[in-house]
């Protein structure tokens, strides 16, 4: 309070400058609200880069990286479901590092920890299927809208890669659970 009593004009001027700056700086804050930026939709992705980006996204789930995972249970190497479950390898490290692997190694499938690994594998496999299908749909729409965007060979290559990835993800699910949707 001593500053205000000693320099009321200085403090008042500073407040007026701050208030004016805030009002002028935010004057068009909501004027561009009708056109959101940073979102992906078909209009944004209807380009060559969009199709290639969705294909890369379909490959990305091979790395066990998606919005559905948080563990090693979905890795394409199937280290947990093949090597560890077969007793050919051990989790290593210490007991607090990825503890569900110990339940899987002991065939304790009903424990909540093992179940999280199973759910993660299921989720990432079908995330890959969805991403592959999205690539195929988008490719078809881009080719229909602008046929010169891709050559015939490129269309076949991208479609072939997406179909292969979809088949791979379905095979992963079949290998884990047998009859799958």
Question: DSSP code of 74?
Answer: G
What pLDDT, in 10s, does the model give residues 21-61? 666 666 565 566 556 666 677 777 889 999 999 999 999 88
pTM above 0.85, yes or no: no
Cβ burial of 78 (10 Å; 0-12, 13-18, 19+) is middle
Positions of the chain with pLDDT under 70: 1-12, 19-39, 65-71
- Domain limits, the chain: 1-35, 40-177
Rounded to 5 degrees, what angle do the CA atoms 117, 70, 125 make? Answer: 60
Query: Where do runs of H (alpha helix) occur along the chain?
Result: 2-6, 8-25, 42-45, 48-60, 100-105, 112-145, 152-177
């Amino acid at each position: 309070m001593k500053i205000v009593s000693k320099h009321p004009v200085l403090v008042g001027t500073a407040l007026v400058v701050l208030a004016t700056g805030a009002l002028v700086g935010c004057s068009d804050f909501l004027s561009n609200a009708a056109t959101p930026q940073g979102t992906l939709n078909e209009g944004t992705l209807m380009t060559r880069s969009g199709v290639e980006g969705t294909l890369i996204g379909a490959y990305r789930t091979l790395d066990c990286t998606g919005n559905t995972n948080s563990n090693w249970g979905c890795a394409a190497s199937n280290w947990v479901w093949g090597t560890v479950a077969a007793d050919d390898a051990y989790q290593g490290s210490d007991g607090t590092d990825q503890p569900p692997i110990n339940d899987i190694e002991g065939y304790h499938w009903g424990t909540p920890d093992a179940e999280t690994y199973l759910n993660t594998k299921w989720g990432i496999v079908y995330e890959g299927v969805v991403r592959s299908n999205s690539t195929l749909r988008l490719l078809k729409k881009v080719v229909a809208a602008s046929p010169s965007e891709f050559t015939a060979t490129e269309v076949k290559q991208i479609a072939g890669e997406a179909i292969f990835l979809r088949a791979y993800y379905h095979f992963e699910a079949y290998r884990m659970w047998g009859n799958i949707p």
